[in-house]
Amino acid sequence: MTPLIASLQGVGVLGPGFDNWACTAAILRHEAAYQALATLLPAPGVLPSAERRRAGRIIKLALAVGAEALAQAGADARTLPTVFSSSGGDGDNCHEICMTLASEDRQISPTRFHNSVHNAASGYWSIAYGCTRPSTSLCAGDASFGAGLLEAMAQLACGAESVMVLAYDADYPQPLRATRAIPDAFAIALLLAPAQSERALAQLQLELVGESPTTLNDPQLEALRLSIPAARGLPLLESLALRRAAVVYLDYLDSTRLAIGVSV
Amino acid sequence: MSPAVPLQLTRFTATSCLGSGLASSRAALEQQRSGLAPCRFESARLDTYIGEVPGVDDVKLPSRLQRFDCRNNRLALLGLQQDNFEAAVRTSAARWGHRRVGVFLGTSTSGILSTEIAFRRLDPVTGALPGDFHYLGSHNSFSLVDFVRRYLELEGPAGTVCTACSSSAKVFATAQRLIALDLIDAALVGGVDSLCLTTLYGFHSLQLTSAAPCRPFDAARDGLSIGEAAAYALLERVPGSNAEPDSIRLLGVGESSDAYHMSSPHPEGTGARSAMQAALTAAHATPAEIDYINLHGTGTPSNDSAEDRAVTALFGAATPCSSTKGATGHALGAAGALEAVLCALTLQSGLMPGGLNTRQQDPRLKVNYLTANRRAPVRRVLSNSFGFGGANCALLFGRAA
C-alpha cells in the first residue's frame, strides 16, 4: 500500500487530568505532573437550548474536543466532514433504557431512545454547527481510535478537503461497568487536512504494520491508554507534544497496528 | 468522498422475514408476499406488526466462538450460510490473502437483546449481571464484525458502521475507499440487525410504529413495522479481463447530514436530496438514467413526505419507485444492505417490486409509486437510506452491460 498522508491542523483532548491540549502536551512533555482528577465536561454552549438539555456526558465529551480542535485550526465546522468513533457510545443512557425495559412499565422516553443511537454525537454536532457534510460513526471495540483515524485519512486520500476525526469513550455505570471497566471519560479530536497544508502542527503518514504498540513510560498514563479505547491514541499525542519526528505504533485490530510517522 | 473505482458485487445474499437466501426473497417479491405478522416477539406486548426471521433461535455458533452467542450473531451466521456466500468469501480470502479482505458491517443495536434479558436477571444482592453475559461478545457494536471476522478468519481492516438506519448503506462507501487506496482487495460489506425490545418500545415511544402492516406512501400511513435482516455483498474490483457481462456494479455512493433534528427528517428532504445528488455525481449519471428507486419509504408520515419532496425535486415524478418495507419491514441497521441486495435482484431480473399494503397513494405525494410489480429492462437503480441523527446515504448500482 502507499502510505496515507495528512497534515494535522488542530488537536482537542479531554480526559481524567487532561483539561485541554495545552495541559495534556505539558504533561506528556513532563513539564507538569499528571494528576488523575475526574474528567471535567464543559456544557456544550454551541448547542441550541433544546438539544443542550437532552445532551448526555458522551455528547458533551465529543463536542468539547471537537470545538477545541476547530478553534485551534480556525476551521469552519459547516463545511467539514466528520468521523466519529467510539467503543461504547452513551453508557448512562443505555443503562437507563435496559433498567426501564427490565421493569414493569417499559415505556422508555423518546429522548432516551433517540440518544441511544451510536451516531448521537454526530447528530448533535451537525445540528450544533449546521453541518450538512457527510459524517460517519464507527465502532471497532478496543480498536475504535485506530478505526476512526484510518477512516479519516482514507477520506482525505480519496479527495476530502479536510476531515475531523473524534474518538471518545465514557465509563458505564454499574452493573455494566463491571463487564467493561472504562474508568472515566476520554476523547481526542484531530482535524486533518491534505498533506503539506499551511498552518500544520505536524505531518502524519499512516501504514498498517505488525509491530508491537508504542507504550507510555508513566505507569498511570499507560494504564489509561490500556483501559480506554480512545486513549489508545495517547502515544501519537506524546509524539506531537515532544515535537520530535518519530514513528508511533497505535493499537488496531488483533496483531495489526497503525504505524503513524510524525514529522514536525 | 466517493472515489470512482468500478467495483462489482461478486456475490450477494439476503435473509429477512421473506426467507433465508435469494431464492425465497425473489419468490416473495414475485408473488407480492409480505413477511410481516403481528408482534409475538419475546415478551413484547405491543400492538404492531414485525418482520421476524424464522429459525434464528435454532442457529448454533461454533463452540470456539460461543462468547459471541446472541440473536444478532445467530442471524449473522444464518445469513452467511445462504447462497454459497461463505464459500465465496473464503475463496476471495484465499486468492487475495486474509489481511487483504476488509469487513465493514452496519448494525444499530448489535446484541442488545441479550443485555435487555440479562438486566432481568441481575443478582438480587450485588446487582451484578449474570456470569454468562459477555460485553464484547454480544453487547458492544463491534461484536457483529468481530464475530464475522473470526468465523471467516479474515484479518483485514474492519469496523462496524453505526449510523442508525443508514448504517449498512454507508459501509459501501468505507469499503470503496479502502479498495480504491489499495489497502484491501476485497471487502465483505453488509448489515445485520435483529429484533430487540429497545427498538420495539423505542419506536413505539416516538409513536412511529403502526398497529397495521406498514403502508409506505399511503394516504393513511401511520408508521413503520420493524423487521430484522442479515444482508451481505462481497465487493471486489471489476477484473480488467474476464469481466462477467451481467455482473452487478457499485457505481456511486452519496452521503450527507440533515443538521436538522435527531429523530425527524428535514421536512423539505434537503439532506436526502443532496445524498442522492452526490451518488449521481459519483457515478457520472443523470437523473434520467435511473430506471428505479428503492425508497427508504418507512411508512411514517414525515419520512415519506420528506423523501417524496427530495425525489421529485431531483427526478421529477416519472421515475418508477417503491419501498420494499411493506414486505420486509424496516430492518433498521440492516435495511441499507438488504435493499441494496433487493436492488441487485431488480437489476438481474428486471422486476421492479410493487410496494405492498399501499392501497391509495397519498395525493400529496407525487412520486411514481409502484403498487404492482412491473417488468422492464433495468440498467441503473438507486437505493435510499436515511437514519436518526440525519445520517443520509444513497447507493447507485448498475449492470455491466
Query: Residue B3 has what pLDDT?
Result: 59
A130 Cα to chain B: minimum distance (Å): 5
pLDDT at A197 over 90: no
Percent of chain B residues topping a pLDDT of 70: 98
The dihedral built from the CA positions of residue B94, A140, B232 and B279, taken in this order, carries a sign that is negative
Q: Is residue B2 part of a domain?
A: no
B58: domain range? Answer: 7-399
For B1, the closest of A110, A147, A158 (CB atoms) is A158
For residue B6, name the pLDDT band (cuts at 50, 70, 90): confident
User: Of A10, A4, A3, whose CA–CA distance to A166 is shortest?
Assistant: A10
In this complex, how many residue pairs, one in chain A and one in chain B, have their CB atoms less than 8 Å apart?
218
DSSP 8-state secondary structure symbol assigned to residue A208? E
The dihedral built from the CA positions of residue B67, B71, B73 and B78, taken in this order, carries a sign that is positive
What's the structural domain count of chain B? 1
Each residue's pLDDT tens digit, B231-267: 999 999 998 776 677 899 999 999 999 999 999 999 9
| CA distance linking residue A28 with residue A234, whole number of Å | 9
Query: Residue A195 has what pLDDT?
Result: 86
The dihedral built from the CA positions of residue B89, B105, B52 and A99, taken in this order, carries a sign that is positive
Contact between B141 and A118 using a beta-carbon 8 Å cutoff: yes
Please check whether residue A127 touches B, CB under 8 A.
Answer: yes
Domain with B76 in it: what CATH number? Answer: 3.40.47.10
Q: What is the DSSP string of B170-225?
A: HHHHHHHHHHHTTS-SEEEEEEEE---HHHHHHHHHTT-B-SSS--TTBTT---B-
**Residues A48, A127 contacting (CB under 8 angstroms):** yes
Annotated domain spans of chain A: 9-198
Contact between B146 and A141 using a beta-carbon 8 Å cutoff: yes
Query: Which residue in the list B134, B139, B266, B330 is annotated as catalytic?
Result: B330
For residue B386, name the pLDDT band (cuts at 50, 70, 90): very high
For B135, the closest of A123, A155, A179 (CB atoms) is A179
Query: Residue B2 has what pLDDT?
Result: 54
Query: Which residue in the list B17, B70, B162, B165 is annotated as catalytic?
Result: B165
Each residue's pLDDT tens digit, B18-31: 999 999 999 999 99
For residue B401, name the pLDDT band (cuts at 50, 70, 90): low
Percent of chain A residues topping a pLDDT of 90: 92
pLDDT at B1 over 80: no
Percent of chain B residues topping a pLDDT of 90: 96
Query: Residue B4 has what pLDDT?
Result: 60
Contact between A138 and B160 using a beta-carbon 8 Å cutoff: yes
For B162, the closest of A110, A119, A175 (CB atoms) is A119
**Residues B214, B225 contacting (CB under 8 angstroms):** yes
Q: Where does A9-198 sit in CATH, by number?
A: 3.40.47.10
Query: Residue A50 has what pLDDT?
Result: 86
Query: Residue B244 has what pLDDT?
Result: 76
Residue B261 a catalytic site member: no
Each residue's pLDDT tens digit, B88-138: 999 999 999 999 999 999 999 999 999 999 999 999 999 999 999 999 999
> Which residue of B116, B149, B205 to mutate against A (max A Cβ within 10 Å)?
B205
**Residues B122, A175 contacting (CB under 8 angstroms):** yes
Q: B-chain residues within 8 Å CB-CB of A103?
A: none
Residue B204 a catalytic site member: no
For A114, the closest of B133, B141, B263 (CB atoms) is B263
Contact between A137 and B161 using a beta-carbon 8 Å cutoff: yes
Is the pTM higher than 0.90? The answer reads yes
**Residues B299, B226 contacting (CB under 8 angstroms):** no
Contact between B140 and A147 using a beta-carbon 8 Å cutoff: no
Q: Is residue B1 part of a domain?
A: no
Grid cell 437550548 — which residue?
A: A49
Contact between B159 and A126 using a beta-carbon 8 Å cutoff: no
pLDDT-wise least confident of A45-54, B23-32, B175-184, B218-227:
A45-54
A71 Cα to chain B: minimum distance (Å): 20
Query: Residue B119 has what pLDDT?
Result: 98
Each residue's pLDDT tens digit, B51-96: 999 999 999 999 999 999 999 999 999 999 999 999 999 999 999 9
Q: Is residue B241 part of a domain?
A: yes
